[in-house]
Structure 1
Amino acid sequence: MANKLIGFRAALLAGAILLGASPALAEAVLHRGNAGEPQTLDQAHTSINIEAFILKDLYEGLTIYDTAGKIIPGAAESWTVSDDGTVYTFKLRENGKWSDGSPVTAEDFVFSLARVEDPKTAAGYANILYPIKNAEKVNKGELGVDQLGLKAVDAKTLEITLERPTPFFLELLAHQTALPVSKASVEKNGADFVKPGTMISNGAFKLISHVPNDNLVVEKNPEYWDAAAVKLDKVIFYPIDDQAASVRRFEAKEMDLVYNFSADQIDRLKKSYGEQVRVSPSLATYYYAFDTRQEPYSDVRVRQALSMAVDRDFLAKEIYSGSQLPAYSMVPPGLQGYEPGFADFGTLSQLDREDKALELMKEAGYGEGGKPLKIEIRYNTNPNHERVATAIADMWKNTFAADVSLVNLDVSSHYAYLQEGGAFNVARAGWQADYADAENFLALSLSANKTFNYGHFENADFDGLMKKSYDEKDPAARAKLMHDAEVILMKEQPVAPLLTQADLWLVSDKVKGWADNVNNEHLSRFLSVSE
């Protein structure tokens, strides 16, 4: 009998060992290609989506986007809005915790939002929270930080007072700039609060390791309020800006997601991978900015001529294989209640545009028969952007006999250079809506926007119309003011919109829970992987 018991126990033990080795119990890991190395993981100093993809896995704002790109409760379980639309009262989740087990409090959010507006922080994206009462004045050093419209009513109740009703305020709170930081951690660790082993976060994942230009690893956060619903154990982000290398790794099944791939590969990839190739319309504009601080780009005629000479149909069809559309307005079409202020030359044929461009350039005294036109195009490293720049260089050479050269930097360095005020001739940029409102695109060109007004454009009439739009409460009248402002912008052409963008993703059929959406929001907490 004893021998039979021993044999039975041995069989149970063997079964347990086999069960432990079963693929069903294997770690669920998502491998995400992320198109570039983040400049930072400090919410106050980020601005681009490859940073947001990581930060929104690590931290959770008061509101978040679901898989369909709709706003839903995040760290706040509910909120109420005053009748006049200026006071938001958020109830934080009772079980909301930081990754060290300490509670997420209203004071953490007061500290985090105030930190962004504090001029000492020098947050490049502070303006996104300007709807908060006194935020702009605080950020410009005209008022103390204690004058912000922020109040911790109690540990789990946060009150935010606005300057004026802001229909898209809940969307602003889902932006990476509004993600919270642990007050205790920042006060203790200073700038080191972002480092692996030090970072304390409140999102579905926590930071485990970061090897720059190699990989960044996040792991499921057991303290997250909804940890039971998170199906992934780990997410590995790969900051690869070499699109061909990303595609090869996807094809070798080394990466489950790839963000941004060379558009000339769409047809080939679709033939091989079908619905794993995702081309989704986006509220995004691909544009070139002119540095208006220097000649000849300080001359509106030169800017207009250069913009007119760009064959946008060629860029859309030949370079992007029809996955993007020609753009003649800074605000992409499709925003409810808003009619873009299109550039008037958009109605002309390309030949007529080029004739008009030659007239303007000659009038300005540049090009063939005038002053030599020497142009440097800056762009962030990417095969698509290189092909666009090469094509535009040829267009400008052929039309104006211009001497055009190209220079490229990795994505972080490229945008850092522009945001820090570096001088340039022409620079490639792209803008994806932080919220579905025309203001988000037009505010880039305000003279007061020192971070994203790359070309340092100044126009009192444009600024004046935008200022009126901020004070206008009637939606139709507000939209008309912004439309009129955009008409000025498209006449002045400090920015030349080239394409209305689509997001290009490769999504392995192993990935479940994915949904295309115009906001390009894809939190890993909603995804899972299957073998």
Structure 2
Amino acid sequence: MRFLPGLLALLMVACGGDRSEVEEPSAPRLPQPVELELDDQGRPLPSVLADEQVIHRGNGEEPQTLDPHLAEGVPSANILRDLFEGLTTTAPDGRIVPGAAAHWDISRDGLVYTFYLRPEGRWSNGEPVTAEDFVWSWRRVVDPASGAAYGRMLAPVVNAGEIFAGRLPAEELGVTALSPTSFQVRLNDPTPYFLGLLTHPTTYPVHRASLEAYGSAHVRPGNLVSNGAFRLLDWQVRSRIELEKNPHYRAADSVIAERVVLYPFEDENTEFNRFRAGDLHWTYQVPNNQFRWLQRNMTEALVVAPWFGTYFFSFNLNRPPFRDNLPLRQALNLAIDREILTEKVTRFGEIPTYHLIPPGLPDYESPIPEHADWTQDERQAEALRLYRQAGYSEDEPLTVELRYNTSENHRKIAVAVAAMWKDVLGVRTRLINEEFRVFLQNRAQGRVTEVFRAGWIGDYQDAFTFLELFHSEHGRNDAGYDNPRFDRLLEQIAGERIPSRRRNLMAEAERILLADQVVLPVYVYVSKRLVDPRLRGWDNNIMDYHLSQHMYLLRERDPASPLQVTDEN
């Protein structure tokens, strides 16, 4: 593995040198919980519970909306899973379990699902949740006028494609309220991942009367009516979002937490310091350059686990310099040393990758590009050849913008990537960081973006959740990729009933996507958090779904200060 002199210097800047490993922060004394004792129903005894059941969570970027049909990004989804509930939901270990629906029937051919809603299901204002609520909500999702970013998630439903294209009204969607508590869905083809898809916020019901009364303001405190375990109490933009237990929730008696407070942190170091000070019970992420210190000093709190997601960069294919210039995109891809990025920059066990879909699926294996088996020197030599073929050289270098949302970890990766492009090819890179909402807006509009940070955490455990993003009509196809052959493959995959053939079609679709160099894959995610030892109801799962309704706080064994910071190292 070759370290170029300029790259080494810039990596030192990107990572802040090794000062974090020399000037270590003092190690906190973590609070120790009392021993957990359960009753006959498996619930914690009141005597072991903390007096105050208020959970404080770090939550990444500020959500742009709390409308489940319009929201984008993991931070929004975290909150929406507390506020709303779909037909299915997830257990702490990630298993799909009944949610708003108590049970369901599936026809023998796999084309008709009939969901039986819980009669005790209620909105946060006490009104019953009905099958008609789901009918109206799903019609809203597929209606092009609604602007639902993930509307195509409902593409398996009968007539959804025609509605997306504007050839049919939303009322023709294949969903029916058979009775107030019976909701039926007709699919075009058997869809193996359908029950998992229903845990996504896009499929949640919204309260029609509130939306029609308040318009876009229906998501504000006092206006938002939801059907989940919590309801919205307060939203201080860029400061905190506070939820309180929903007394009308169908399983309110099983929810121990009384309130949940979620904080947006764009700076991982700020979040880390808030946890050390005892202000948070778990973090959204941690600073990459603190990994070794955390391993030595906070092993009880550090949680690192595989995550079903890929970190990548994407090219805007609708404008220069990347439109109709495949060699240039290939050159920038090959010039990146993923091993250096994961070992020297991210440093949290991330897995370098050359494909889009992460490993771990029981019935899918990604096609491996030829260059994945090359040495880095071979990749760099080919990158330089392609760069010249694309029309650039040392005398006429490429000048490009690399855009990312505000985050110290994203900044470090962007600086390192720019350094690699500079050292290997001579590329001049302008780094542009943007607040998350602006970043998403610019990506979607595609008017100013050239190269931009991207990433995807699977919405359900199937390779299709990654592939469908690049359908020419998908709302999150920010690269502007438009390949009719790829689109046809996605349609074949949706209709294929034989697992082996479906698997082969998905592999071919990913091969085409990688060959067209739409994305520049970097690494497979791991989730990395600090979790207070007193917090229970947390389990690792590959989807990284952690619903607050499963969580509670144990009493501290030593009732002294919650997180005493000492001078011990």
Select which of 318, 321, 338 maps to 2:347. 321
Give the aligned partner of residue 499 of structure 1: 523
The answer to whether the 8 A contact 1:381-1:410 is kept is yes
SS in structure 1 opposite 2:81? Answer: helix
Q: Distance in 1 between the 2:478 and 2:339 partners?
A: 25
Select which of 134, 139, 155 maps to 2:180. 155
Q: Distance in 2 between the 1:184 and 1:269 partners?
A: 49
Select which of 418, 427, 450 maps to 1:402. 427
Q: Distance in 1 between the 2:246 and 2:450 partners?
A: 46
- 2:204 partner amino acid: L
Is 2:455 aligned against 1:417? no
Q: Distance in 2 between the 1:425 and 1:200 partners?
A: 40
Is 2:511 aligned against 1:509? no
1:260-339 alignment, distance < 5 Å:
260-298=285-323, 299-339=325-365
Select which of 135, 146, 149 maps to 2:171. 146
Select which of 447, 454, 468 maps to 2:492. 468
- 1:342 partner amino acid: I
Q: For this pair of structures, how many residues does the alignment match?
A: 508
Shift of 1:25: 7.8
Shift of 1:183: 2.2
Describe the superposition over 1:278-327 as per-residue Cα deviations: whole angstroms up to 9, x where unpaired.
Answer: 11101100000011122331211000110000000011111122420111
- 1:92 partner amino acid: L
Change (3 A) 1:389 1:95: same
Describe the superposition over 1:486-522 as per-residue Cα deviations: whole angstroms up to 9, x where unpaired.
Answer: 1111112110111011111111112111111110100
1:359-508 alignment, distance < 5 Å:
359-369=385-395, 371-449=396-474, 451-508=475-532
The answer to whether the 8 A contact 1:342-1:490 is kept is no
The answer to whether the 8 A contact 2:49-2:554 is kept is no
1:215-294 alignment, distance < 5 Å:
215-294=240-319
Q: Distance in 1 between the 2:547 and 2:445 partners?
A: 30
Shift of 1:414: 1.3
Is 2:81 aligned against 1:28? no
Q: Distance in 2 between the 1:424 and 1:24 partners?
A: 50
The answer to whether the 8 A contact 1:341-1:490 is kept is no
1:92-107 alignment, distance < 5 Å:
92-107=117-132
Q: Distance in 1 between the 2:380 and 2:57 partners?
A: 43
The answer to whether the 8 A contact 2:313-2:451 is kept is yes
SS in structure 2 opposite 1:43? Answer: coil
Q: Distance in 1 between the 2:415 and 2:274 partners?
A: 27
- Decide which structure has the larger Cα Rg and report it: 1
The answer to whether the 8 A contact 2:61-2:265 is kept is yes
The answer to whether the 8 A contact 1:99-1:224 is kept is yes
Select which of 352, 371, 377 maps to 1:351. 377
The answer to whether the 8 A contact 1:266-1:277 is kept is no
Give the aligned partner of residue 8 of structure 2: none
Unaligned runs of 5+ residues in structure 1 are 1-21
Shift of 1:242: 1.2
Give the aligned partner of residue 202 of structure 1: 227
Greater shift in the superposed pair: 259-268 or 158-167: 259-268
Normalised to the residue count of structure 2, the TM-score between the two structures is 0.87
The answer to whether the 8 A contact 2:93-2:540 is kept is yes
- 1:332 partner amino acid: P
Give the aligned partner of residue 203 of structure 2: 178
Q: Distance in 2 between the 1:255 and 1:50 partners?
A: 16
SS in structure 2 opposite 1:85? Answer: coil
Select which of 506, 509, 527 maps to 2:551. 527
SS in structure 2 opposite 1:386? Answer: helix
Q: Distance in 2 between the 1:367 and 1:495 partners?
A: 23
Q: Distance in 1 between the 2:381 and 2:524 partners?
A: 25
The answer to whether the 8 A contact 1:131-1:164 is kept is yes
Q: Distance in 1 between the 2:240 and 2:59 partners?
A: 10
Q: Distance in 1 between the 2:488 and 2:172 partners?
A: 26
Which consecutive segments of 4 or more residues in structure 1 shift more than 4 A? 22-25
Change (3 A) 1:460 1:145: closer
SS in structure 2 opposite 1:258? Answer: coil
Q: Distance in 2 between the 1:309 and 1:390 partners?
A: 14
- 1:254 partner amino acid: D
- 2:385 partner amino acid: E
Shift of 1:165: 0.8
Shift of 1:169: 0.6
RMSD: 1.5
The answer to whether the 8 A contact 1:379-1:414 is kept is yes
Unaligned runs of 5+ residues in structure 2 are 1-46, 556-569
Q: Distance in 2 between the 1:375 and 1:191 partners?
A: 37
- 1:212 partner amino acid: V
SS in structure 2 opposite 1:30? Answer: strand
SS in structure 1 opposite 2:146? Answer: coil
Give the aligned partner of residue 105 of structure 2: 80
- 1:448 partner amino acid: E
- Give percent identity, aligned residues only: 39
Greater shift in the superposed pair: 57-66 or 440-449: 440-449
Q: Distance in 2 between the 1:27 and 1:282 partners?
A: 31
The answer to whether the 8 A contact 2:64-2:72 is kept is no
SS in structure 2 opposite 1:163? Answer: coil
Q: Distance in 2 between the 1:348 and 1:135 partners?
A: 44
- 1:88 partner amino acid: Y
Shift of 1:172: 1.0
Shift of 1:454: 1.5
SS in structure 1 opposite 2:145? Answer: coil
- 2:488 partner amino acid: G
Shift of 1:367: 2.5
Normalised to the residue count of structure 1, the TM-score between the two structures is 0.93
Greater shift in the superposed pair: 184-193 or 172-181: 184-193
Is 2:108 aligned against 1:67? no
